[in-house]
Structure 1
Amino acid sequence: MPQPYIEHVNLTVSDPERMAGLLNRLFDWHVRWEGAARDNGRVIHVGDERTYLAVYTPPEGPDADAFAKGRPLNHVGILVDDLDAIERRVIDAGLVPFAHADYDPGRRFYFLDYDGTEFEIVSYG
């Protein structure tokens, strides 16, 4: 049996098309699938051939409390080869990188997406 890995994470977002576009621009991912989701919501699967983020919104849209920091998720970590290139893309998307750090074994920064979900971008190269 192959080593288990995280196949996907499902995030509630206010606008799945906007979030899918951001993920595509930042990470050169693509839409794997999109369509109706549970409870008459809408979901878009964005990623590569192995893993993806499912960006979901319920039919009436999420309530504002759904986006409180750390509720229920502290951040999503994305491993990249070129940290500086991704940071430029984050800035070009109108988002603000913060909490830069060099640490053993790599470097990282964070940003908040349009809904306030925190992403950690890390490189070990």
Structure 2
Amino acid sequence: MTATLEHSNFTVADPHATAAWMQNVFGWNIRWEGEAKAGGYTVHIGSQDSYLALYKPKSVRPSQESSYDVLGGLNHVGIVVSDIDAAEARVIAAGFTPVNHGDYEPGRRFYFDDDNGIEFEVVAYD
């Protein structure tokens, strides 16, 4: 048996704004959007094979905790790209700050936090 990750679901302040920067940075497309659980709203964005569900509840409460200190916390999301330099330029153009660059086997990577406080790891494998 093989298993493939289909999607992950995040709570964000504005699913349309988050989807817009993801379209510009990663070249993803909106697959679906509409009303969701508990009166919220969701935008699904990604490729034909996988996506991120961007969920906004009726009211959003920002977290003051580090996900690395919370059992079950989301620490970061890894995104594979074919051209890491182009991806970094797009991340900067979207208004985010790349940090913690690494060049080691099996590839190059950097991280950035989006405006929801979600950490992304962008990696390119040689």
Shorter-chain TM-score tier:
over 0.9
User: 1:68, 1:93 → 2: CA distance?
Assistant: 25
What corresponds to 1:119 in structure 2? Answer: 120
CA-to-partner distance for each residue in 1:42-82, whole Å, 9 max, x for gaps? 0000001000000001012x2012x6432520000001110
1:110 and 1:120 in contact (8 A); partners too:
yes
CA-to-partner distance for each residue in 1:11-61, whole Å, 9 max, x for gaps? 10011000000111111100000000100100000001000000001012x
- Unaligned 5+ segments in structure 2 are none
What corresponds to 1:76 in structure 2? Answer: 77
What corresponds to 2:92 in structure 1? Answer: 91
C-alpha RMSD over aligned residues: 1.2
Letter of the 1:50 counterpart: D
What corresponds to 2:25 in structure 1? Answer: 26
SS of the counterpart of 2:116?
coil
Q: Does 1:51 align with 2:58?
A: no
- Unaligned 5+ segments in structure 1 are none
Aligned residues: 122
What corresponds to 1:101 in structure 2? Answer: 102
What corresponds to 2:62 in structure 1? Answer: 64
Question: TM-score under structure 1 normalisation?
Answer: 0.93
Identity of aligned residues (%): 48
SS of the counterpart of 1:64?
coil
Q: State the 4+ residue runs in structure 1 displaced beyond 4 angstroms.
A: none
User: 1:84, 1:91 → 2: CA distance?
Assistant: 11
